[in-house]
Amino acid sequence: MAEVTNNENLDNEETEVVSKNFIEQEIDKDLESGRYSDIMTRFPPEPNGYLHIGHAKSIILNQGLAKKYNGIFNLRFDDTNPTKEKEEFVDSILEDVQWIIGGEKPPVYYASAYFDKMYECAVKLIKKGKAYVCDLTPDEIREYRGTLTEPGKNSPYRDRSIEENLDLFTRMKDGEFEDGAKVLRAKIDMSSPNINMRDPIIYRIAHISHHNTGDKWCIYPMYDFAHPIEDAVEGISHSICTLEFEDHRPLYDWVVKECEFENPPRQIEFAKLYLKNVVTGKRYIKKLVEDGVVDGWDDPRLVSIAALRRRGFTASSIRMFMELSGVSKSNSTSDYAMLEYCIREDLKMVKPRVMAVLDPIKLIITNYPEGQVEELDVPNNQENPDMGTRKVPFSRELYIERGDFMIDPPRKYFRLYPGNEVRLMSAYFVTCTDYKTDENGNVTEVYCTYDPETKSGSGFTGRKVKGTIHWVEATTAKEAEVRLYENLIDEEKGVYNEDGSMNINPNSLTVLDKCYVEPCLAEGAPGDKYQFMRTGYFCLDTKDSKPDHMVFNRIVSMKSSYRPDKK
Ligand code: ATP
Ligand code: MG
């Protein structure tokens, strides 16, 4: 549904169409009805891996809502499960979240800081007759739970007295029992059609140290009990989560109600972001890292946030992508090409357009004075004159792309071939006169003559050429390594096989180790981004690039198969 508002700042009759997603519509209703007066959202990652582009969706959504409604956005580490979490991920998550939302540091909380409160809530439930200690084994609990079509049956321990439950729960906390010997369960309804409501476990015994609370606890709360309490304690208004939690919502509501939180939060679910033929799940990314298919969590072929950043994606391009892909209540898959469109759009007008030759062969201009190097004025971005110009050296010997010359070209090939004239970008017209090959027939050098009258910017209109090629001056060019990427997944076969293994594309990485770039690039800093004219957008690698050995990652090629206006 689109809401049309008159924008009073405009003198003319223009109207601004603000379309609201379904979550915003719900928030509007809640504000109108007075259910909430302040909006507070959160992003609650489990610190058990690096964040990926799916998490970015949740971060941008939650932070965006808080911003839109002048509310507060919290980052909360959901560190209630001591078996899986590692402190090392906390720093990377904080860095990634901050980067995605544009630099500001959100308030940071730890779910483990609420363990006392959660314990207090559990005791409250016991006292209300709403929770009991159960001695069934895990297998028995499963058996008693029933199935989707059959109701469960009551545990024989369900009717323990409040006193006995309080005593047993205290002794669980005091470490008297082994792991798995007892659990605390909510007393709800073993015949509920929703399995999550069949007396779910809310506390379990685990004699494990916790990275934050050490050995203080040997009982830990289960997610479905802990999460609503975390939200309620922080004063979250809208607890936004992904669709798989829809069936858990009745339990969420039960917990905040029975624990008697005032003005409790409300859970709203949205569909996860999936990218076609791209590995997004934390578990699967982890496997690629552990199996050595990629070289670490920030390998530029991955879509972890660290990897996207290293590859050269900007936070604003990722935000634009989320804007375009929208927020929905039903699962769908987005195209990676749309993300590529966003980064091209983001860099197009603001990054320098420079020349780099990825697969070089020599071009020798036989009528250009030997030993002379002239400096040409070249615009930094043809579409954005505000970016000014730079000096680019030009001389008798240049490098051009191997693919820009053919001995025997097909029809409609407008680049260099014997007898043909082309423009050297921002320089002169040259006509190919000859070439040299090695013993295998590979071209090693191309010869040509230039016409001094045709200098770019001189106003020459004498004749036209159909092809323009890029080049770099041979004696001043800097050598560089360039890494080209393809999808990590073999797209013909899809991501996963039936056994859960992945179809890896053997050509996902191509390393070109002898490329030549304009000398000005030697001044670049890691993370700097450029358009290499005709070949794409590139980023100086933040990990491997050194002043004496530049390494560029190709973020994306120039060509686009995606248009936002076409499906
Ligand atoms: P994964 O699905 O990769 O295993 P996770 O859900 O286990 O991730 P959490 O740390 O629990 O990872 O996730 C933190 C938040 O990010 C949760 O609120 C979760 O719903 C959300 N989230 C995870 N994956 C996606 C996704 N693909 N799209 C949108 N939100 C996501
Ligand atoms: Mg999870």
**Above pLDDT 70, what percent of the chain?**
95
What's residue 19's pLDDT?
Answer: 83
Å from CA of 441 to ligand 1 middle: 55
pLDDT band at 60 (very low <50, low <70, confident <90, very high): very high
Render pLDDT for 237-252 as a digit per residue (tens, 0 to 9).
999 999 999 999 999 9
Render pLDDT for 223-237 as a digit per residue (tens, 0 to 9).
999 999 999 999 999
Q: Collapse the DSSP code of 63 into the 3-class scheme (helix H, G, I; strand E, B; otherwise coil) and give the result.
A: helix
- Ligand 1 probe mutation, 21, 223, 242, 331, most atoms within 8 A of CB: 242
What's residue 189's pLDDT?
Answer: 98
Render pLDDT for 533-556 as a digit per residue (tens, 0 to 9).
999 999 999 999 999 999 999 999
Å from CA of 72 to ligand 1 middle: 20
Average of per-residue pLDDT across 90-113: 95
Å from CA of 46 to ligand 2 middle: 6
What's residue 493's pLDDT?
Answer: 86
Closest ligand to Cα 278: 1
Render pLDDT for 474-520 as a digit per residue (tens, 0 to 9).
999 999 999 999 999 998 888 888 888 889 999 999 999 999 999 99
Vertex 340 angle, CA 339 and 346, to 5°: 90
Alpha carbons 486 and 413: distance in angstroms, whole number: 26
Was domain 353-557 assigned CATH 2.60.120.10?
no
Q: Whose C-alpha lies nearest to ligand 1, atom 2? A: 281
pLDDT band at 1 (very low <50, low <70, confident <90, very high): very low
Render pLDDT for 170-191 as a digit per residue (tens, 0 to 9).
999 999 999 999 999 999 999 9
Tokens 């029933």 locate to 146
Q: Specify whether the CB–CB gap between 484 and 439 falls below 8 A.
A: no
pLDDT band at 14 (very low <50, low <70, confident <90, very high): low
Residue 87 has φ and ψ, to the nearest 5°, of -65, -30
Average of per-residue pLDDT across 108-126: 98
Å from CA of 315 to ligand 2 middle: 23
What's residue 332's pLDDT?
Answer: 86
What's residue 16's pLDDT?
Answer: 58
Vertex 518 angle, CA 512 and 522, to 5°: 85
- Ligand 1 probe mutation, 21, 43, 55, most atoms within 8 A of CB: 55
Å from CA of 54 to ligand 1 middle: 6
Alpha carbons 81 and 78: distance in angstroms, whole number: 8
What's residue 9's pLDDT?
Answer: 45
Higher pLDDT, 13 or 340: 340
Å from CA of 241 to ligand 1 middle: 8
* Mean pLDDT computed over every residue of the chain: 94
| Residue 567 confidence (pLDDT) above 50 | no
Torsion angle (degrees, nearest 10) of CA 398, 404, 408, 414 = -120
**Above pLDDT 90, what percent of the chain?**
89
| Residue 18 confidence (pLDDT) above 80 | no
Task: Please name the residue ranges forming H helices in 73-132.
Answer: 88-100, 115-127
Cα dist. 160→142, 314, 491, 545 in Å?
20, 58, 57, 66
- Measured from CB, residues less than 6 Å from any atom of ligand 1 are 44-46, 54-55, 57-58, 241-242, 272-273, 280-283
Q: Whose C-alpha lies nearest to ligand 1, atom 29? A: 272
| Residue 563 confidence (pLDDT) above 80 | no
What's residue 6's pLDDT?
Answer: 44
The pTM of this model reads 0.92
